[in-house]
Structure 1
Amino acid sequence: MPELPEVHALVTDLGRRLTGQVVERFDVLSFSALKTFSPPASSLAGQVVRGVERHGKFLDLRIGEVHLVMHLARAGWMRWREGPPPASSGRPGKSALAARLVMAGDDAAVAPGSGLDITEAGTKKSLAIYLVTDVNEVPGISRLGPDPLDPAFTLEVFAGILGSSGRAQIKGVLRNQSNIAGIGNAYSDEILHTARMSPFKPSAMSDEETGQLYDALQSTLRGALARADGLAASELKKEKKLGMQVHGRVGEACPVCGDTVRQVIFHDSTLQYCPTCQTGGKLLADRVLSRLLK
């Protein structure tokens, strides 16, 4: 799932390609992905792309007076296509292609027919596309908490979020988009590993621990941004995976202490952690492992 650093890099890449360009058409091939009915997709034809922005994990293409907003969810992605799409591609329900933005290409920067292919792999479809005149019409955006890269996101703001969360597990607090916008499963694992904290630690913590976690959050996200800076969309997935210390690395050696990275499996997701760095050597309860040991 793309999180704040990847979506930020997509904004940079697509902003460079699309800003000032004219849309030829916007084709929706997965009708379940389109969550709005007005304005219609046809309203984008002939309009100029005015800019590309980010709201948490939401990507926002400002086209004329309309916002084309996308949340790529767990298995969605996009790629830039040079030149017109193949005539045989894009049949509804027959491929991973969910939508396609085709550009008129009326100058040397973009060839006619070039554009953006939005795809979603797998059978569980969660990709969401919205066409709205006000981004706050998108429910997920209207509920977003503060952006952790905004200068206004200070240590005091962060401490207030933790304080209001009581004894909720810190992993869930970091992932809750109403608390902090843009952090998902992967980067919450990485932040907690950097902070040397258990994902099950209660969010009520000392001032020293709060400062430690805040610094880890900032360094993790800003480090990921720096690594993704200047990369095209096609390179971001690989860069994200290479930059991970524990997430997605179960069974491998922790790069900090050499202990084996472990995981906890839930019904719809997993988390990864290092016992030595984060839990004092204790293995966290795992439903699958617990069942095997009975």
Structure 2
Amino acid sequence: PALRVVLDDGSGFDLTEAGTQKRLAVYVVRDPADVPGIARLGPDPLADGFDRDRLAALLAPESRLLKGALRDQSLIAGIGNAYSDEILHAARLSPFKNAGRLTDEETTALYEALRTTLTDAVERGRGVAAGHLKKEKKTNLRVHGKDGEPCPVCGDTIRSVNFADSSLQYCPHCQTGGKVLADRRLSRLLK
């Protein structure tokens, strides 16, 4: 499915959906908060009011894995699978760490990595045509999608954990104290 949007000045864009899951929706509203998916979004992590203490307060009640908390759009808006891997690598945190049990130092490292990673991504994307954004993003990822390649920080092999509908990549040396995390799909086959 595709939708072409043409603006009054003649410019416009195409909305298309790729992949196996069809979730594209188009709303015409006066207020973005009238769109259900936008109304339930968490705070923008690049907004001026989003500081380290706000991040700490959002994560404190969480009992789930840090990777999942970062990807939850109702908790913090705009962080997907790839950038959650990149943020966790930059912060040197395990994706399987409990989100509500971060130390003050870990929270600070996570906040700094989050802001730096996302700010850099936004800056790199400025002026890039929509059709080229995905390629630009992939070119600048350090761990996500780099399974089997050397870590750009320490040289260890980047590993992957696969789930039913996604995967995560991490560096054992930088993020898990050298521990290789179990690949969920492979673990089931070995039982």
- What TM-score comes out, normalization by structure 1 length? 0.61
Q: Compared with structure 1, are the counterparts of its residues 103 and 273 closer, same or farther at alpha carbon in structure 2 (3 Å cutoff)?
A: same
Q: CA deviation at 1:104?
A: 5.4
Say which of 128, 138, 145 aligns to 1:248.
145
CA-based RMSD? 1.6
1:185 aligns with 2:81: yes
SS of the residue corresponding to residue 255 of structure 1 reads coil
Q: CA deviation at 1:168?
A: 1.7
- Taking the aligned partners of 1:135 and 1:223, their CA distance within structure 2 comes to 26
**AA at the equivalent of 2:29:** V
Greater CA drift, 256-265 or 133-142: 133-142
1:115 aligns with 2:12: yes
- The structure in which a higher percent of residues are helix is 2
Instruction: Specify the alignment match of 2:132 in structure 1.
Output: 235
Q: Which has the higher contact order (CA 8 A, sep 6+)?
A: 1
Instruction: Specify the alignment match of 1:101 in structure 2.
Output: 5
- Taking the aligned partners of 1:135 and 1:194, their CA distance within structure 2 comes to 32
Instruction: Specify the alignment match of 2:54 in structure 1.
Output: 157
1:277 aligns with 2:181: no
- The structure in which a higher percent of residues are strand is 1
Say which of 138, 163, 173 aligns to 1:266.
163
Identity of aligned residues (%): 61
- Taking the aligned partners of 1:122 and 1:279, their CA distance within structure 2 comes to 32
1:205 aligns with 2:102: yes
- What TM-score comes out, normalization by structure 2 length? 0.92
SS of the residue corresponding to residue 194 of structure 1 reads helix
Q: CA deviation at 1:237?
A: 1.0
Q: Compared with structure 1, are the counterparts of its residues 161 and 104 closer, same or farther at alpha carbon in structure 2 (3 Å cutoff)?
A: closer
SS of the residue corresponding to residue 150 of structure 1 reads coil
Q: CA deviation at 1:170?
A: 0.7
Q: How does 1:64-143 map to 2 (within 5 A)?
A: 98-103=2-7, 105=9, 110=10, 115-143=12-40
Alignment check: 8 A CA contact 2:144 2:170 kept? yes
- Taking the aligned partners of 1:202 and 1:259, their CA distance within structure 2 comes to 24
Moved over 6 A (4+): none
**AA at the equivalent of 1:260:** T
**AA at the equivalent of 1:160:** A
Instruction: Specify the alignment match of 1:221 in structure 2.
Output: 118
Greater Rg, structure 1 or structure 2? 1
- Taking the aligned partners of 1:180 and 1:132, their CA distance within structure 2 comes to 23
Q: CA deviation at 1:133?
A: 2.9
**AA at the equivalent of 1:175:** R
SS of the residue corresponding to residue 178 of structure 1 reads coil
